[in-house]
Amino acid sequence: MSQYLRFIVISPIFGILSYMLSYYSQVNELPSLQEEFLPFLTSAIFGLLAGFSALGIGKLLNKFVSWKKKHSLRFLLQCLSLFLAGCILITCYLELFDMILDTQMTYEKFWSVHKDDFLKALLILFIFIFIYTILDFMIYSFNHLRKEEIQSIEMINNQMNLQFKALKSQLNPHFLFNSLNTISSLLYKNPEKAEEFIRKFAESYRFILDQNDKTLIPLEKELAFVEAYNYILRMRFQDSYKLSVDLPEIAKGSFVPPLSIQMLVENAIKHNLISKSSPLEVRLKCEDNYLHVSNNINPLREQAKSFQIGIENIKKRYAFFTNENIKLEKTDFFTVSLPLIKENNRHLN
């Protein structure tokens, strides 16, 4: 049932109940619908007007003083606004009855005769307004909590999807094929290196599978994986590839989304020519609370489409934990700067 339909149904009922309560307080019996049809109808109409007045006042207050920002002030303003609107409607209600019945009653005479009834009506009005405001706050709180839960679930699902894509990109069949070829070659040339290569290769894939369900991991763990992955790359490219890491110990206590640094290292491998005449160097350093991953530029003739996809994946995963932006810079070196995430910024882990 929509919000407007609820007010159309409920408001006239409250108007009629208010009239019945007022009538009962005067004559100690409930009014007859046949004998008091006009008052019933008028009360229902004014109840409807009161309902839509409450709806309009609520929407107006939402623009200036929302429940989310200032609970107490909103509660006070809504009660006062609704009470004032109710007093105006009661006055109009009484004037209408005076016109219909042609009682020609002055305000002085009305106050002397019906003072107690009028004050009782104001008390009933205030009670209704107080209860309505409490219910309005409860409904807002419930809807807000439900909305936050839905957003939280959606955020977690989005993050899991991004991590799955990151995992999928690392289980690259080309990388697996090249690694198996390297193992095959080393088995004949150098069995000891082949054994070490297999161990590092296994460590790399174990890390990928173990960390896939985590949203953040310590930078130290990510670096350990990068070192294992780097061993495989050095065996493949020999002296044509170099990774240098210059990070202070305090930075290693920060957190990063898993596979983020490894993806940047892999991007450097994918998008640059690597040879003895054009060696590739990847540097990791920390400065101004950012981790800078940079590489010299030896561009291939045809750039892989996966570059922007990988960068966007990292950006979206970082957006869950920090408002700091990932920075890209291209000079003689291509540099991606990742903000270091402190432990007190870990929202989802």
CA pair distance 320, 156, nearest whole angstrom: 9
pLDDT at 337: 92
Q: Residues 177, 150: one domain?
A: no
Question: Cβ-count burial of 100 within 10 angstroms (0-12 exposed, 13-18 middle, 19+ buried)?
Answer: exposed
Reported as a pLDDT band with limits 50, 70 and 90, residue 319 is: confident
Boundary of a domain, candidates 158, 190, 208: 158
Which is nearest to 315 in space by CA: 335, 337, 334, 294? 337
Last residue of a domain, one of 102, 131, 158: 158
Instruction: Please report, as a single letter, which amino acid is at residue 310.
Output: G
164 belongs to a structural domain: no
Whether residue 214 is found in the same domain as residue 262: yes
Q: Give the distance from CA 266 to its chain's centroid.
A: 31
pLDDT score recorded for residue 126 = 81
Same domain, 186 and 238: yes
Structural tokens at position 48: 């409807």
Same-domain pairing of 237 and 194: yes
In the listed set 125, 158, 191, which residue is the last one of a domain according to the structure?
158
**Residue with the two structure tokens 């993050």:** 159
195 and 341 co-located in one domain? yes
Q: Are residues 146 and 235 in the same domain?
A: no
Domain ranges, residue 299: 171-345
What is the pLDDT at residue 93? Answer: 67
Q: What is the total count of domains within the chain? A: 2
Going from the C-alpha of 266 to that of each of 57, 216, 259, the distances in angstroms are: 58, 20, 10
Closest by CA position to 62, among listed 139, 130, 10, 124 = 139
* Predicted confidence (pLDDT) per residue in 25-49, tens digit: 666 777 777 666 777 777 777 777 7
More confident residue, 54 or 240: 240
